[in-house]
Chains A and B, each alone.
Chain A
Amino acid sequence: MFVQVKGIPVMFIPGNAGSYKQVRPFAAEAAVYFQENLSMDEVALANGKRALDWFSVDFNEDITAFHGQTLLDQAEYLNEAVAFILSLYHDPARSLRDSELPDPSSVLLMGHSMGGIVARTMLVMPNYQSNTINTIITLAAPHARAPVSFDAEIVRVYKRINDYWRSAYAQKWANDNPLWHVTLISIAGGGLDTIVPSDYSTLESLVPPTHGFTVFTSTIPHVWTSMDHLAITWCDQLRKSVTKALYDVTDAGRPGQTRPRSERMRAFKKRFLTGMEDVTEHVVGRKGKILVV
């Protein structure tokens, strides 16, 4: 086998009837961005910046939105794929990574539409190996409720997943929270997305502001535009912002491949929020840096 991994693993999960090739825009931008901006930057390399290895899964364009069992099957498969991907980095014959870097113990996830739900389902599955997922970015994913509820099973699966996430973050002590190190960013397309209404993308009832937030593409700096359900996977402005955010939060020098949770949240807020949102206020106040224009 000649396919060799070399950087930080990121997995793209396509949505309902989606294609594995939808990973192209983000993966291409990440490769170009690394080569042009980071590969020659000694400081960045010393800070653990490495190219992203983008993995994608071909689900044969499965219809996940209509069938709960398919959702669970995909999540089970993905957990096994994560274990397989991590094993690639352990094998010197298949990895080009610097030997002084620790072997990765987790994979970053990006899910489009129902793929975002599958990503969250992975952490609920029995075959999930703890701490193999700590950063999830979802694009136009209907977190709050099932977009189509023809199937009773999918409603049950949704309830199971959302109950798990809510109860995890409701724990008083971080030790009791299996999702303590997990950050989740939900990016919604706004008014142009008529397939998944952006209200469904809210994390308001699922994840506290310390671990994630919802943001509309029309309010992301340098993006400033709404986009429909498919455009969110190829929009040039968005892929640039997301790529920068991903390089901000990754650190190949740590086994988890990402910086600590609070630093990740700060990086995400810097890239995705304007600074005028409620969730950013206390951060600014704490640091005592208030920009007066």
Chain B
Amino acid sequence: MRTRSQGSPVAASSELPINNRNDKIQTRNGDTVASQPEDVSASRQLELGAQGGGQAQQQLDATSNESGLWTGTTAPAVPEAVGGSKLPPAGEVLERVFSDGMDIDPARRRHLPNPWSCSPLTLATTVIAALLAFVIGQAFLTRQLDPKGCAMSYMRPSFAKFSDFDTEHTRFASKYSLYLYRESGVDEDTRVGERKDNRLD
């Protein structure tokens, strides 16, 4: 808004065609000659403001939308420019409005968080955490204080199932069953092995 008010009061006669102006903008986009166009663009701005007619007014309306967007979102950039010794020429500002339509202004980019940015503190914390997790896992898996000292046990098992502990005795007989253990070769309980439902494991 402010830039607009700067430009609008200046009135001068001009009959600049719109397409011509667009050409100029295009050249400026790809162009490296920065110092020279200041005068030119300034005068162009004047020319533009001088239209005064309905056509120019439409122009202004059309641009004011964009410029409103631009000035609104990058408000801090403008006072900075004002406070600085060098005020950006009005024409340049306007051109920026047209040319940078969808681009992000460098000043604005500074205020957006970069998704890939990483402060040294974050980096250090992550590294330390990863190291700690590794050490904890390593210690848990391989550096337990207790060594495994159990000796293996051996046996010759045989089990006798109590088929007659049935639903007459308990409602869970279909689900669970009861066994008696006998050590083969030690328990001389030969009758256990004769049962059909006894099995040796």
Contacts and interface: CB of A to CB of B under 8 A. Distances in A.
B153 A28 contact: yes
Contact of A60 (B149, B159, B165, B175): B175
A87 to B, nearest CB: 9
B147 interface: yes
B194 A2 contact: yes
Interface stretch (B80-88, B103-111, B181-189): B181-189
A96 to B, nearest CB: 8
Contact of A77 (B151, B170, B194): B170
Nearest to A76: B172
A162 to B, nearest CB: 24
A293 interface: no
A56 B181 CA distance: 7
A190 B146 CA distance: 8
Q: Classify chain A: how many residues form its interface, as a range.
A: 35 or more
Nearest to B170: A80
B189 A4 contact: yes
A35 to B, nearest CB: 5
Contact of A27 (B145, B154, B183, B198): B183
Nearest to A25: B153
Interface residues of B, number: 40
A25 B151 CA distance: 12
Interface stretch (A166-174, A225-233, A249-257): A225-233
A58 interface: yes
Given A2-B192, A80-B170, A190-B146, A236 B152 contact: yes
B157 A51 contact: no
Interface string A236-247: 111100000000
A81 B201 contact: no
A82 to B, nearest CB: 10
A28 B201 CA distance: 13
A140 to B, nearest CB: 13
Contacts of A236: 150-153
A150 interface: no
A153 interface: no
Contacts of B157: 21, 24, 27-28
Given A3-B160, A226-B146, A236-B150, A80 B179 contact: no
A3 B192 CA distance: 5
Contacts of A20: 159, 177, 179
B181 A27 contact: yes
A3 B162 contact: yes
B102 interface: no
Contacts of B180: 3, 5, 53-56
A32 B194 contact: no
A281 B74 CA distance: 82
A191 B181 contact: no
B183 A77 contact: no
Contacts of A74: 176
Given A28-B157, A31-B183, A227 B172 contact: no
Interface of B: 144-157, 159-160, 162, 164-165, 169-170, 172, 175-183, 186-187, 189, 191-192, 194-195, 198, 201
16 contacts: A1-B164, A4-B192, A20-B159, A25-B153, A28-B154, A28-B156, A32-B183, A51-B187, A56-B178, A77-B176, A191-B144, A191-B145, A225-B147, A226-B147, A235-B151, A236-B150
Interface of A: 1-6, 20-21, 23-25, 27-29, 31-32, 35, 51, 53-60, 73-74, 76-77, 80-81, 83-85, 96, 190-192, 218, 224-228, 231, 234-239
